[in-house]
Amino acid sequence: MREKGAANVRVFVVWEPVLDTDWGRPSPALTGYVPDRRAIHFWDHDRKLSARYGGAARLDALAGERKVAFRMQDVLWDTALVYPPGARWGSPARLLVAPVVKYRGELAEAL
């Protein structure tokens, strides 16, 4: 995001409890890790978005291009989906990558 300071992009960061250390509702300071003004942050305690996407079992249906370098069990996490202009909510993404840090170059290109 820092590299693409001028990109016309909107980012939805959905924080969800996945690991055992994710206990309790996180502090709003969590949003400080992605301080970009183009980002909107959500806390998804019940992992509803992962379920809405169909969980890890339906990765193939979520995006035209997928780059996944770790095996998710059931919850979709550490994942970024890029949607092109014109795509409505519910349509497939152009690109899906996981884990995010490994594919930050591809993400930067896609933006």
Partner 1 sequence: MSDTQGRGAVLSALASLASLAAALTCCLPLGTLLFAAGSAGASLFAEKLRPWLLAFSAAALVLAFVQTYFRGRCAFRYRRVRTVLLWFSAVVVVGMLAVPQVFSALLAGRLPSFHAASDLRDFDERDLAYEFDAAIAQTRMVVLLSPT
For partner 1, the binding residues (CB under 8 A) are 7-22, 26-37, 39-46, 48-50, 52, 69-70, 73, 76-90, 93, 99-102, 107, 110-111
CB of 103 to partner 1, least distance (A): 10
Element (H, E) at 86: none
CB of 70 to partner 1, least distance (A): 5
Considering the complex, state which of residue 22 and residue 60 has its C-beta at the smaller distance from partner 1. Answer: 22
- Return d(Cα 28, Cα 70) in angstroms, integer: 28
Considering the complex, state which of residue 33 and residue 65 has its C-beta at the smaller distance from partner 1. Answer: 33
Reduced to 3 states (helix: H, G, I; strand: E, B; else coil), residue 66 is strand
Considering the complex, state which of residue 5 and residue 88 has its C-beta at the smaller distance from partner 1. Answer: 88
CB of 66 to partner 1, least distance (A): 14
CB of 29 to partner 1, least distance (A): 5
CB under 8 Å to 31, separation ≥6 — which residues?
Answer: 13, 39, 41
Whether residue 69 contacts residue 99, with contact meaning beta carbons closer than 8 Å, is answered with: yes
Structure tokens at 46: 């019940």
